[in-house]
A and B are shown apart, each in its own frame.
Chain A
Amino acid sequence: MNALVPLAVAIPIVAGAAVAATTTFHWRRPVEVVATTVAVCVTALAAALVVQSSGGWIVYWFANWRPHHNVALGIDFAVDPFGAGIAALAAFLVALSFVYGWHYFDELGQTLFHALTLIFLAAMVGFALTGDLFNLFVFFELATVPAIVLTGYMNEERGPLQGEMNFAVTNTLGAFLVLTGIGLLYARTGALNLAQIGEALAGKGTDGLVVTAFALLVAGFFVKAAVVPFHFWLADAYAVAPAPVCVLFSGIMSELGLYAVARVYWTSFSGAFGAHEEALRAVFLGAGVVTALVGAVMALQQRNLKRLLAFATIAHIGLFLMGIGLLDAKALAGAGVWVVGDGLVRGALFMCVGILVQRFGDVDDVDLRGLGRAVPFTGVLFVLGALALATLPPFGSFVGKALVEGAALDKGYTWVPAVILVVSALVGGAVLRAAGVVFLGLGAPVQEAGSRDEAEPEDEAGEPIGVERGRVPRFMLVSPALLLACALALGLLPDLSSWAFHAAQRFEDRAAYAAAVLHDTRPPSATLQHVGATWSDVLLSLGAVAGAFAVAATDLFRERVPAIFRSRAQRLRQVALGAATASHSGHVGDYVTWLTFGAAAFGAAFAFALS
């Protein structure tokens, strides 16, 4: 069997344990070097797996327990280009966050940061590669526990504690939802292996148990992915985690929740739910649109740069969910490419914000107004990032978006490209506006009732205490620049769309997956069908970019607008958005209420759609 598969998990996990064992020695430099090397190795391993799996699944049975008459006795990893690609993205982001975070924390903090992040990386890789449902849950928890610690890392200010607590409670409840779903499926099928579950459920009717299990699994993973109404914890947590950690959270952790939903649906439930695709599509698209709009609208309200990017992440998760929810190979391919391209960009943006915090000790764009002129290169990267978020061609995000739009139009959902345009414009505009304020000193210093809260600036910065402010090491700029360059390079890869489409078709082929996992059958090779962006996609993207500039301009040059219009717009905004803003109260009880509500709502929606 292919030894690269277990090594992709074993290497970072052993390294993490070794670093954790030696933290008391405070070996900062050696640990940084070792950890970065390990992350680079895992990136290479995962990239190799992407290439090797393009011809068919690489199935690895742990402890050599192969299936016994179609019953899986052990746990398998079933690697395909999507899973390996997600793993490669995770490892790459970890490696670059290590470079970015060189000497970021003090001695104790630095070594433990590396230990926890390496374990986190191992969990993400395992999550992406596994073919067993309970194993998915274990890696879900293994990713959550270090993430909880990393959120409030080395910081006892009030904001980070709130973020940490809300993250811990909501994500743990999400895990319990998943576990309950697993219990139900196990009772029905007697199996924990995704392929075997799929075989057991295929062709049999959908009854209450199967629908409920699906609803619980989806709801639990949606908590991780921060789909509305499970998203409240994300803004709190991402706003306070240190910048190197935010890069990982935004770039890869949220997307893993969506990946899990796609994986579980296509391998286990697609056989049972095939006849109800139209209705299911409606539920997923609805959830995606709501999430995207809530994220976009809330992003525009934010003055805290990290919280702004957190809501931008939520908005994009909504867009990705729309892509996945179309339940179509082309859309799935697009969503996959978009996730990678966009993850790189959001990672770069968080790094830029981290640079601002490092230099000026604040994360509020009003406080930072004009100060960004001292760091012009960061400003350039920030603006490029904003444009890439708005899917400017030829960034990778454009390629992904084009495929999703194409698939939506093929299926007759003509409103999807419009939603994508509006959301991309709003989010890009929010980031551009922040760039304008911070780097160009634009915008009037208005005292308005925005998202200002009682917390002090240090709280909101969420950066570790005792870190030197003022000097920005040169290598801190390398990482975001490299991330943006890779996002651009991704978009320039020839035949990426066709290749992703081919991988997506495999991903959706439940029968071939089951045959590969349970019977070791190689799928028939297929020729690459050509798909790609069209001119209308380019026009839509340029429209989104123009929209982003317009959105930013309306906010920045507000004083040019006559006073009557300004106050009317203000009142309108407060009325329309007051409820949305108020619901993001920071109170854990509220979040759990919405979580319960969301679980019940998705349950009802799926019950309706699948009966």
Chain B
Amino acid sequence: MSSRTRVVVFGVAASGFAALLLWGFVGLPDFGHYRGPYGLILNKTVVSARHVTNVPTAVNFDYRAIDTLGEEFILLSGAVGLALTLRSRREREERPPETPDRGLEHTSEALRIAGLALVGPLLVLGFYILAHGHLSPGGGFQGGVILASALLLACLAGEFATLRRGRPWLVMEAAGGLGAAGYAFLGLAGLLGASAYFADLVPLGPMGKITSGGTIPIANAPVALEVTAAFLIVWSELLDQALLVRRRR
């Protein structure tokens, strides 16, 4: 279709589609008047049933743990797929050179110092968030992203060449796979030790402490491992592409 025809046909289609959506949305309960049983029951029962104060975390890692399993693996296959897509045949055979790259050589001193200084605190924050996910907002995913961004900060501070020299692909891919497999294994442990896949194995601890929640806080660890690895794979592959382009110029 020519550009103009496409816009015209789309205009007609979109009006019809918008009308459909609006007609459907009219039947929705008023904004602010959620009535459904699912959320209300969970709000009432989760804290005492699981000794966990962050209800969405409980939903993600216990009640709807199999959804999270699926999502973990979406992340893993996406990261792995992206790495595969971006590493062309030639580039796969030759790893990027060891020499420092022209592109990142000229980071200012301020950026280097500030960046490197923040890496430590970010790592601590990341571990704190991931460990306390069942008590306050946070968890494996959030903590994992913070940990990954701590390492990204190190790259921005100009240490990309140093980091890459450590042959991280092996580690990252292994970590990603291990994290995902680890989470699935936790489910299997529930199957073998208790009565159902992802069922609770560990005794619920006292409320409000880090040991509460049974399997839920334990699940944060493999999840964080996998998320960190996946995001690092994604960022390092995309950064590699940018450097490749710069090197070619």
Binding site for B on A (CB under 8 A): 1, 3, 6-7, 9-10, 13-14, 16-24, 60-65, 68, 71-75, 108, 112, 115-116, 119, 122-123, 126, 134-135, 138-139, 141-142, 145-146, 148-149, 152-154, 156, 180, 184, 186-192, 207-213, 215-216, 465-466, 583, 585, 587, 589-590, 592-593, 596-597, 599-601, 603-604, 607
Contacts and interface: CB of A to CB of B under 8 A. Distances in A.
A583 B1 contact: yes
Given A208-B23, A208-B26, A597-B13, A119 B76 contact: yes
B41 A142 contact: no
B123 to A, nearest CB: 23
Chain B CB within 10 Å — which of A63, A72, A589 has the most? A63
Contacts of A208: 23-24, 26-27
A585 B80 CA distance: 31
A135 B6 contact: no
Contacts of B41: 68, 71, 73
A187 B180 contact: no
B69 interface: yes
15 contacts: A6-B197, A14-B188, A21-B173, A63-B196, A68-B41, A74-B63, A115-B80, A123-B73, A138-B74, A142-B73, A190-B38, A209-B28, A596-B10, A599-B17, A607-B20
Given A63-B196, A119-B77, A209-B26, A112 B84 contact: yes
A64 B173 contact: no
A24 B169 CA distance: 8
Given A18-B181, A21-B174, A590 B1 contact: yes
Interface in B17-56: 17, 19-21, 23-29, 34-39, 41-42, 45
A176 B196 CA distance: 31
Contacts of B169: 24
Contacts of B77: 20, 115-116, 119, 142, 145-146, 149
Given A116-B81, A211-B24, A593 B70 contact: no
Interface string B72-93: 0110111011001100110010
B24 A212 contact: yes
Chain B CB within 10 Å — which of A9, A62, A149, A191 has the most? A62
A1 B176 contact: no
Contacts of B217: none
Given A6-B196, A596-B13, A607-B23, 11 more contacts: A10-B187, A22-B177, A23-B80, A24-B169, A75-B65, A123-B73, A135-B67, A190-B37, A190-B39, A589-B6, A600-B20
B181 A191 contact: no
A149 B195 CA distance: 36
B9 interface: yes
B137 interface: no
B209 interface: no
Nearest to A148: B81
B14 to A, nearest CB: 6
A1 B195 contact: yes
Contacts of B114: none
B199 A63 contact: yes
A75 B73 contact: no
A142 B70 contact: yes
Q: How large is the interface on B (under 10, 10 to 19, 20 to 34, 35 or more residues)?
A: 35 or more
B18 to A, nearest CB: 9
A139 B20 contact: no
B185 interface: yes
Contact of A10 (B45, B177, B197): B197
A65 B190 CA distance: 13
Contacts of A142: 70-71, 73-74, 77
Q: Rank and list the top 9 A-B pairs by shortest CB-CB distance, nearest first.
A: A190-B36, A21-B177, A212-B24, A209-B27, A600-B16, A149-B81, A603-B20, A6-B197, A17-B181
Nearest to B169: A24
A515 B45 CA distance: 24
Given A134-B67, A590-B1, A600-B16, A149 B185 contact: no
B66 to A, nearest CB: 5
B191 interface: yes
Contacts of A112: 80, 84
A187 B195 CA distance: 32
Contact of A64 (B29, B85, B170, B195): B195
A190 B35 contact: yes
Contacts of A9: 66
Contact of A24 (B21, B45, B170, B195): B170
B242 interface: no
B26 A18 contact: no
Contacts of A22: 174, 177
